């Protein structure tokens, strides 16, 4: 907790087709940790470590949990892989909800990076996420990221940033670069 009072925790959404949603969450997590807040940074859907996760793991007051054990995109998975992928994501989200319920003051900030994509695919039930957001501890700051935030989630949120792609090197066949895109 910062200061002598408990501030109201708000809900942030970083959505859209543009680059920078995870980067925004990372910056917010570092800012919070640098101010003495405890942060739980949970990453859904991304199956490989990245530069931001590496530095977050080394930062005091930040706990990192990367959920996905798969390295290929959901759309390329067979039905058995999709079932396992869905199971691990749902179990992880249920564990997060249980942790927050059991020890509501363990974290000051919860980052659910790429959870919006998991909701869009039906991996995480939107009702489950919206119920969690509506009943979260009052002080807990929650950040959600991913493409295609639903109107329901947007309406629940206090901050919404729609990150647009105007131009991207991928359109010129330039692959993602370590240290820049991941």
C-beta separation of 68 from 46 below 8 A: yes
Residues 138-165, mean pLDDT to the nearest whole number: 97
Angle at 36 between CA 61 and CA 139, to 5 degrees: 95
* Residues 139, 10: Cα–Cα separation, whole Å: 8
- pLDDT value at 169 more than 80: no
Please, what's the b/e burial string for 107-125 (b: 16 or more CB within 10 A of its CB; e: otherwise)? bbbbbbbbbbbbbebebbe
Question: Pick the residue with more confidence: 146 or 48?
Answer: 146
- Does pTM surpass 0.85? yes
Strand-pair partners of 143: 12, 111
Average pLDDT value for residue range 114-137: 97
* Predicted pLDDT at 5: 59
Q: 126, 119 in Cβ contact below 8 A?
A: yes
Which has more pLDDT, 73 or 1? 73
Judged by DSSP in three states, 142 sits in strand
pLDDT band at 145 (very low <50, low <70, confident <90, very high): very high
Residue ranges in the chain assigned as alpha helix (H): 21-34, 51-57, 79-102, 115-120, 126-135, 151-156
Asked if 152 and 130 count as a contact pair (C-beta separation under 8 A), the reply is yes
Assess whether pLDDT exceeds 80 at residue 179. no
pLDDT digits (tens, 9 = 90+) for 2-52: 555 568 999 999 999 998 999 999 999 999 999 999 999 999 987 667 778
- The string of pLDDT tens digits covering residues 56-106 is 999 999 999 988 776 778 888 899 999 999 999 999 999 999 999 999 999
């Amino acid at each position: 907790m910062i200061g002598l009072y408990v501030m109201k925790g708000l809900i942030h959404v970083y959505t859209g087709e543009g680059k920078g949603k995870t980067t925004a969450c990372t910056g917010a997590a570092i800012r919070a940790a640098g101010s003495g807040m405890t942060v739980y940074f949970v990453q859904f859907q991304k199956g490989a470590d990245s530069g931001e996760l590496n530095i977050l793991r080394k930062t005091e007051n930040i706990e990192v949990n990367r959920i996905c054990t798969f390295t290929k995109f959901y759309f390329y998975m067979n039905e058995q892989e999709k079932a396992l992928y869905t199971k691990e994501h749902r179990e992880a989200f249920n564990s997060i909800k249980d942790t927050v319920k059991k020890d509501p003051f363990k974290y000051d900030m919860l980052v659910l990076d790429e959870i919006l994509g998991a909701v869009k695919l039906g991996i995480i039930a939107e009702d489950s996420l919206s119920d969690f957001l509506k009943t979260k501890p009052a002080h807990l700051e929650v950040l959600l990221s991913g493409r295609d935030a639903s109107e329901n989630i947007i309406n629940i949120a206090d901050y919404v940033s729609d990150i647009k792609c105007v131009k991207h090197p991928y359109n010129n066949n330039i692959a993602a670069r370590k240290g820049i895109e991941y």
